[in-house]
Amino acid sequence: MSFEEAACLPTGGVTAWRALVTKAQIRRGEKVLVTGIGGGVATLALRLAAAMGAIVYVTSGSTEKLTIGESLGASGGVCYRQDKWGKALQALSGGIDVVIDGAPGSSFGQYVRALNFGARVLIYGSTGGTAVEFSAPDLFLRHASVIGTAMGTTDDFRNMLAFVEAQEVKPVIDRAFPLEQAGEALHYLEAGHQIGKVTIRI
């Protein structure tokens, strides 16, 4: 990897790894939903899950990002700006086994009915707000689990690095800004245009 790629890997990579492997114990052939494709953790979760043999679906508010998600290994995606997008997800995927979600406040109520029996929902952030509403039967009738996760241990990091090296998985870098344009880089991040990571080149 380049130094910039290596700089992008640790936080997002180990967060995605812990969610997928340590907590969800993902299996080859399972169907995984990664919400809000574009962010660093979400993009790495897509790359890692696809390399593990999962069938990955993504959501975004941008059709352009959905297309890019497919180019990175997703089997398809749905736009969360459309009404009742959870039904579109169910029709597209036939049901989801694992969810990697950094914005449950705005998405949980939609995808919950697309969960398969025994599904695992991994929540690693609260970008869409801290409150999450759902109907209890949507979970217990499906024997679904909701699991919180964040970052990871040194063992998670070591195992993630070994997998990334063996599978040649690299972080996606959207843009690299020189140090003197760090302020512009932050504005770019705030606008939410990126797919993957934004770096500062020193």
Q: What is the pLDDT of residue 193?
A: 73
Q: Give me the domains of the chain, ranges plus CATH numbers.
A: 3-154 (3.40.50.720)
pTM of the predicted protein model: 0.92
Q: What is the pLDDT of residue 104?
A: 92
Sign, CA torsion 168/41/13/18 = negative
Q: 199: Cβ–Cβ under 8 A, 6 or more apart, which residues?
A: 4, 7, 8, 173, 175, 176, 177
- pLDDT truncated to tens, each residue of the chain (202 aa)? 888 899 989 999 999 999 999 999 999 999 999 999 988 899 999 999 999 999 999 999 999 999 999 999 999 999 999 999 999 999 999 999 999 999 998 899 999 999 999 999 999 998 878 888 888 899 999 999 999 999 999 999 999 999 999 999 999 999 999 999 999 999 998 887 778 899 999 8
Q: Which amino acid is at 202?
A: I
Beta strands in 109-172, from DSSP E residues, in sequence order: 115-123, 145-148
Strands 31-34 and 173-178: unpaired
